[in-house]
Amino acid sequence: MSNLPKHIAIIMDGNGRWAKQRGFLRTIGHENGVKSLRTTLTKCREIGIEYLTLYAFSTENWNRPKFEVDKLMELLVKSLAKELPTFMENQIALNAIGNLELLPEKVRQNLATTIDKTKENKRMTVTLALSYGARAEIIHAIKEISIKVKNNIISEDNIDESIINEHLYTHNMPDVDLLIRTSGEQRISNFLLWQIAYAELYFTEVLWPDFSEEELYRSILSYQQRERRYGKTSEQIK
């Protein structure tokens, strides 16, 4: 318990395949994925994880069939309302990152309401990456910095990692310690590219709707068995 990741990020993959294996519509997989989400939220809070960031909907996901996108947005609205007691009981603050302006108005309203109602909760911060893409985030940061350089607010000579961090969507969060991806795929998929520079990666064959408390603990145990050197040697770390 003395060596827990401070910030866990999860690519929640495999809802569609889970449903297809059972002869269901893909949207049924997304609905069952909410149960795994609730388990993960509560167990992370119980053991003392401070930040949890979830890849809920990417910028590329807008290219999926309209029926599926509409159902995902509908599910998001319902889930935000249904999970509010979970957030409050567990002292979890909700946050969201991404190009939120692209979300339907009802989703944005429910999201803003839940964020506002949970803003005083201090035990854990859960961030939903919605309409999110890491490359778009970095481009946004570069544009913001460029404007400030042009207006002599920032000197180009002073641009460093801290300046870039300040202009990312995640400016109020620490870098990711552990990145988990479910469903057996082993790629990052344009998620938090800057923030995972030194994260430990954990890939599991388990599909997201089957991601259990035990699998969460396996990922954390794997993290704890690794030596994080940040470019140094083992001798320097010891």
* Mean pLDDT of all residues in 146-174: 97
Residue 237 in this model has a pLDDT that exceeds 80: no
Q: What is the pLDDT of residue 229?
A: 82
Confidence at residue 192, expressed as pLDDT on a 0 to 100 scale = 98
Write out 33-84 in H/E/C secondary structure: HHHHHHHHHHHHHHHCCCEEEEEEEEHHHHHCCHHHHHHHHHHHHHHHHHHH
Report pLDDT for 5: 98
Tens digit of pLDDT for each residue in 185-236? 999 999 999 999 999 999 999 999 999 999 999 999 999 999 888 787 877 7
pLDDT at 84 over 80: yes
Full-model pTM = 0.95
- Residue 95, phi then psi, degrees to nearest 5: -135, 160
Cα 122-188-3 angle, rounded to 5 deg: 45
Q: At what angle do helices 26-47 and 213-224 cross, to 10 degrees?
A: 60
Q: CA 83 to CA 72: how far, in whole Å?
A: 16
Contact 138, 194 (CB under 8 A): yes
- Answer whether residue 82 shows pLDDT above 80: yes
pLDDT, averaged across the chain: 95
Task: Taking residues 55-75, report their average pLDDT.
Answer: 93
Task: Please tell me which residue in 3, 13, 158, 175 is annotated as part of the active site.
Answer: 13
Model confidence pLDDT, tens digit, residues 102-115: 999 999 999 999 99
Note whether 237 and 191 are within 8 A (CB): no
> What does the pLDDT look like over 114-139, one tens digit per residue?
999 999 999 999 999 999 999 999 99
pLDDT at 136: 97
Answer yes or no: is pLDDT of 81 > 90: no
pLDDT at 147: 98
pLDDT of res. 1: 87
State residue 236's pLDDT score.
74
Write out the H or E segment, with its range, that includes residue 8. strand 7-11
pLDDT value at residue 230:
79
> Any catalytic annotation for residue 61?
yes
Q: Is 177 noted as a catalytic residue in this protein? A: no
Catalytic residue (choose from 15, 61, 121, 210): 61
- Mean pLDDT value across residues 45-58: 97
